[in-house]
Amino acid sequence: MLSALRLRDFVLTERAELELSAGFTVITGETGAGKSVLFEALRFALGGPADAALIRPGAARAEVEAVFDLRDSPACEAVAGALEAVDLPFEGELVLRRWLALDAARGRLSGRLRINDRTATLETVRGLAPWLADIHGQREHLSLLRPGQSLTLLDRFAGLSGARDEFAGMVRRLQALDRKLGAIEGDQRERARRVALLRHEADEIASAGLRAGEEAELRGEHSRLLHAARLMEDSQTAREALESDAIGAALAAVRRLVEVDGEAAAVAASMESAAEHAADALRALRAYAETVVVDPARLAEVEARLSLVAELERRWGDTLAEVIAYGESAAREAERLEGEDADLAGMQAEAAVLLTEIEAAAHALSAARREAAQRFAAAIREECAPLHLESAVIDLSFEPIPAEGERFGFDQTGADRVELLVSFNPDAPPRPLRRVASGGETARLTLAIKAVLGERDAVPVLLFDEIDAGLGGRSGGAVGERLARLGRSHQVICITHLPQVASWAADHLRVRKAAAGDGALVQVEPLGAKARLSELAEMLGADTKANRTSARNLLRAGAGATR
């Protein structure tokens, strides 16, 4: 519900703070007292147009704050989702604050908007507005005139909201499949080219039979083959030096030293070790020499292999390891893309089955809607009669959604476009409501529809202005009774001039103008039992004893009967 509405320097209101209750609240006052200012303030808070006339004369800026308590409302989930999408906080209470200022020197308007004390955009609050309040008098907030609303109302009346939600889920699944299929089918030729290239690259790398560390081995072998002659010559020279008797002669001489001088024993030991090492080195040289060969054919093979490695590295990696990794990755990617082709047939079959189910569900929805349409129209007509709309003609038109290609036409709501057709003149054919809408008649028709829907109507706050235009006391009582009935499941706020309407309200606010300097200010005050009785008597003509008795009877028959 709308729990509070606060105004500051808005139109003719210097300051007003309304604490509102659930149920049915009525707003009364003399003609021109400024009753509609409260509705204008709420429209402004909900993203309505900004105009310099909204700023009280002499004030720097206008400010409106609207507080909604949605904790027990069916709109709570939708509002939570909308705010989460724009990263705004929400814990069941929604505080909308909007400012409007005029730069007199430049003649320019500026404004700010906050939702739950966070800066927000008009687009965001306008998206929330249909879930918060249905304000008669400004078409941008009257849900009955929004596209697709007639179908939504019919579904609620027929108890089809659950079936419609299930249908919407099926359509969303089909749309997701269509997107996947479109991506696969649209890129099929390009994917085939990509698979062929990846397979070629992976096969080329695989056929090379590369091994990690192979390049270093090849370079070492290449160096030995390239310098084989020199290696043979140098190893021969070293071998000959070790095979000479120089080391043996040196060892014999040292041994003679030890025979004469025992102090030379350490030198002899070192010489003995050197001789052993020289023998080991000689054996190693002989083994090495056997491995050194001059092999021009093998040299050519190694150079060819190194050239292949260099070419692969030029194309697919800075190192041999990177080339091998790329080949493995290319093979995996080719398999994945080929797997998509295999999935294509499966997804196409799944989409075909789902489309068949959607078509059957759409036909079932359409049949149920058509069956309920006449009952819905008859129920609205029945509610219209006591509201001084006894000549109203109510009907619903059905049109199929146009087909797309080979598929039958449908969207997430089904296969129907439904529009409420109305005529307030029995001599005129019924037409879409948006083309025949007029103040009081449309308000009362809205009241009739919402009375038919009762708790099934999801908009939590209903505001009515001009609803008693052209009505007398008897019809006013019928309007008041229906507003009170709606107040059991909604918060209903109504501006009225008829005491027969006002007497049914649970709460009563009076608006009046008070002199202020050279102008006047709008004041809003809640009425207690005594003040309310006096106000109803004034609305009956004058605050006389007879009118007070009549007012007391109205209260007894109206609001008293609903409590």
pLDDT of residue 341: 67
DSSP strand pairing (24-28 vs 491-495): parallel
pLDDT of residue 6: 92
In angstroms, the Cα distances linking 234 to 246, 288, 299, 388 are: 19, 11, 20, 124
Tokens for 316, please give them: 């697919």
Sheet holding 108-115, edge to edge: 13-19, 2-10, 61-69, 93-103, 108-115, 118-119
Which of 106, 80, 107 has its CA nearest to residue 91? Answer: 80
CA distance 202 to 326: 8
Domain residues of the chain, as ranges?
192-338
Amino acid at 300: A
Q: At what angle do helices 246-260 and 265-291 cross, to 10 degrees?
A: 170
In angstroms, the Cα distances linking 271 to 245, 249, 254, 259, 294 are: 14, 11, 8, 15, 37
CA distance 52 to 11: 9
| Phi-psi domain of 314 (left: phi exceeds 0; alpha: psi -120 through 50; beta: other) | alpha
pLDDT of residue 438: 64
pLDDT one-digit tens code per residue, 439-468 = 667 778 888 888 888 777 778 888 888 677
pLDDT of residue 559: 52
CA distance 185 to 83: 37
Q: Helix, strand, coil shares of the chain as percentages rounded to 5? A: 60, 20, 25
pLDDT of residue 451: 85
pLDDT of residue 138: 43
Query: Which residues have a Cβ under 8 Å from the Cβ of 315 and sit 6 or more positions away?
Result: none
CA distance 129 to 141: 7
Residuewise pLDDT in 10s, the chain (563 residues): 999 999 999 988 888 888 899 999 999 988 776 788 888 999 999 998 898 999 988 888 999 999 999 988 878 888 998 999 899 989 889 999 999 998 876 778 899 999 999 999 999 999 998 889 888 754 444 566 677 888 988 998 999 988 998 999 999 999 999 888 887 766 667 777 888 899 999 999 999 999 888 888 888 888 888 888 888 888 888 888 888 778 888 888 888 888 888 888 888 899 889 888 988 888 988 888 888 888 889 889 988 999 999 999 999 988 999 999 999 999 998 888 777 666 777 888 899 999 999 999 999 999 999 999 999 999 999 988 888 888 889 999 999 999 988 888 999 999 999 999 999 887 888 988 777 756 667 778 888 888 888 777 778 888 888 677 767 767 788 888 888 988 888 899 998 889 999 999 999 999 887 766 655 677 888 999 999 999 999 999 898 999 999 989 998 877 544 44
- The residue assigned the tokens 């070419």 is 311
> 155: how many CB neighbours lie within 10 A of its CB?
25
User: Is the CB of residue 109 less than 8 Å from the CB of residue 407?
Assistant: no
pLDDT of residue 238: 84
In angstroms, the Cα distances linking 325 to 146, 320, 534 are: 60, 9, 92
pLDDT of residue 263: 85
Chain mean position to CA 523: 42
